[in-house]
Amino acid sequence: MQIDQTELIWLDEHHEVSLDELIELSGLSQEELHHLVEIGALTPNESIEGHGITKDLRFSSQCIVSIRTLSRLKHDFELEQNALGLMLVFLERIRNLELQLSVFNPTKQ
Amino acid sequence: MKFKDYYEILGVGRTATADEIKKAYRKLAHQYHPDVSKDPAGEEKFKEIGEAYATLKDTEKRAAYDELGRHPSGQEFKPPPNWAGHQGGQEYSFEDVDFADLFASFSKGRQHSQQQRHNMPIPGQDYELATQVSLEDAYQGITVDLSFTVPEYDDQGQLRRVPHTFKARIPKGVTNGQKMLLRGKGGKGFHGGPDGNLYLNISFIPHKLFRVVEHDLFIDLPLTPWEAALGATVKVPTLAGEVNLKVPAGTSSGQKLRISKRGMPKHNQEHGDLYAVTQIVVPTDLTDKDRELLQALAGSSTFNPRAHF
């Protein structure tokens, strides 16, 4: 058995990841992530200047949760790239609705 | 290890075509996939369905699986000697090997020679763990023990399930449902492949007094009718000790009285607020004196809460 003291990385709106980190963590390709940014389904923290998409883009680490779900759905349901954008929009919408719902049904014993 | 009948899991015959297998998988995936289905047992069922499909959709894996022959599902099982995935001549203990792991090194178009398998970088798997903490522990921050078992490749390139234990520090400021990432703490990679990551889902154990919404806390504050009408100073518990709360005169049920900065800590050193939600509670066991006083009040008061009816 290995016992290790380990630091945690927050997945929330206060922390950021780079495009390279998002590629590594999400399981989606650079092309697929670029596609999501281009169609506006995934919004980087910094604005895109000029033409094209640079590697300097940073994203809220909170998006890792939805993007990983998207990657899992893409793999498990063998989805085409075109479906990914729509899927991500709906995943984010569900996440926001669940958050709003938790206001009316907070945790209590 | 126990045998799994992948054809039975997908509900297809052993001579099913690739198309039939795909259709059967898609139907079951919609029914049981944990991101799609509300079935609480869906995740466990989908794991089996996914394993069955991953094996039967790949021609090499399917051939290796068919070579194992038919066995009752759930029966203790060991691959026969000289089976396609077996290193010739060597005896292995399959105690720590999951049935699905037998086919992990097969892939369409890839030769399954010993040497090739040894040289190929294999990335480690990502894992998700859920852990529950009390509100008190989340308020202070806490170090938790995380234990799980992950498959790792040994020196012979065989998968073994190895237990791991980590201590992870959950700092102040987490919210209910917070997700966190431990880089490189998932399954081990092999031959230069990167280690997987561990995703931690943190949830709060329901508290007997407080409800949590993001960083704010809510507590029901029962008041007597006279406290609500006349105003009062009442003691209210918080996670950092008791406070005195001034209840204004003329307070009705359902009002939220804000106790500033007595909620959960935020990651930027600030705190959310605690809201005491008033509930006027009427005594059910009146003494004669109580009854007399209330009847006098009923007779003299002109207050009509139903004036709008």
pLDDT over 70, % of chain B? 86
Tell me what pLDDT residue A15 has.
86
B16 CB near a chain A CB, below 8 Å? no
Q: How near does any CA of chain A get to the CA of B46, in Å?
A: 10
The residue with greater pLDDT, A15 or B76, is A15
Is the model more confident about A54 or about B167? B167
Which of B213, B267, B279 should we substitute to test contact with A (largest number of A Cβ atoms within 10 Å)?
B213
ipTM of the prediction: 0.77
- Provide the residue type at B263 as one letter: G
B110: which 2 tokens? Answer: 């890839």
Among B96-110, B119-133, B148-162, B267-281, name the one with the lowest average pLDDT: B96-110
| Cα separation, A23 vs A32, whole angstroms | 9
Interface contact A79, partner B, CB < 8 A:
no
Measured between CA atoms, the residue of chain A closest to residue B170 is A8
Q: Among the listed ranges A79-88, B165-174, B257-266, B289-298, which one has the minimum average pLDDT value?
A: B165-174
Identify the closest residue of chain A to B53 by CA–CA distance: A76
A104 Cβ under 8 Å from any chain B Cβ:
no
- Inform me whether the C-beta atom of residue A63 falls under 8 Å from chain B C-beta atoms: no
Kindly determine whether residue B207 and residue A8, on different chains, have CB atoms separated by under 8 Å.
no
CB contact under 8 A, B165 and A106: no
Is the Cβ of B223 closer than 8 Å to some Cβ of chain A?
no
Tens-place pLDDT, residues A46-64? 655 544 555 578 999 989 9
Provide the terminal-to-terminal Cα distance of chain A, rounded to the nearest Å: 36
Whether A102 sits inside 8 A of B176 (CB atoms) is yes
Which residue did the predictor score with more confidence, A39 or B100? Answer: A39
pLDDT score of B307: 95
DSSP secondary structure code for residue A107 in this structure: B
* Distance to chain B for A25, nearest Cα, Å: 8
Q: Do A11 and B212 touch (CB under 8 A)?
A: no
pLDDT in tens, B52-96: 999 999 999 999 899 888 877 777 777 777 776 554 444 455 555
Q: What is the pLDDT of residues B98-143, one digit of tens each?
A: 677 677 666 544 434 443 445 667 777 788 888 999 999 999 999 9
- B263 pLDDT exceeds 60? yes
Point out which residues pair with B219 in neighbouring strands.
Answer: B210, B276
Residue burial A65-82, b: 16+ Cβ < 10 Å; e: rest: bbbbbbbbbbebbeeeee
CA distance linking residue A80 with residue A91, whole number of Å: 16
- Residue in chain A closest to B26 (alpha carbons) equals A77
Calculated CA dihedral for residues A47, A50, A55, A61, nearest 10 degrees: 10
SS3 content of chain A, % helix, strand, coil (to 5): 50, 10, 40
Q: Encode chain B in three state secondary structure.
A: CECCCHHHHHCCCCCCCHHHHHHHHHHHHHHHCCCCCCCCCHHHHHHHHHHHHHHHCCHHHHHHHHHCCCCCCCCECCCCCCCCCCCCCCCCCCCCCCHHHHHCCCECCECCCHHHHHHCCECCCCEEEEEEECHHHHHHCEEEEEEEEEEEECCCCCEEEEEEEEEEEECCCCCCCCEEEECCCCCCCECCCCCCCEEEEEEECCCCCEEEECCEEEEEEEECHHHHHHCEEEEECCCCCCEEEEECCCCCCCCEEEECCCCCECCCCCECCEEEEEEECCCCCCCHHHHHHHHHHHHHCCCCCCCCC
pLDDT attached to residue A3: 43
Region A19-33: mean pLDDT is 89
Nearest chain A CA: its distance from B275 CA (Å): 13
Nearest Cα residue in chain B from A69: B35
What is the rounded distance in angstroms from the CA atom of residue A78 to the CA atom of residue B162?
31
Model pLDDT for residues A92-109, shown as the tens digit of each residue: 898 888 877 776 665 544
The more confidently predicted of residues B74 and A85 is A85
Contact A77 B26 (CB under 8 A): yes
What pLDDT score was predicted for residue B159?
62
Q: Which residues contact B7 (CB under 8 A, 6 or more apart)?
A: B13, B14, B16, B52, B56
Res A55: pLDDT: 59
B181 vs A25: CB contact, 8 Å cut-off? yes
Region B14-32 average pLDDT: 94
Q: Which residues of B touch A96 (CB under 8 A)?
A: none
Structure confidence at residue B194 (pLDDT): 81
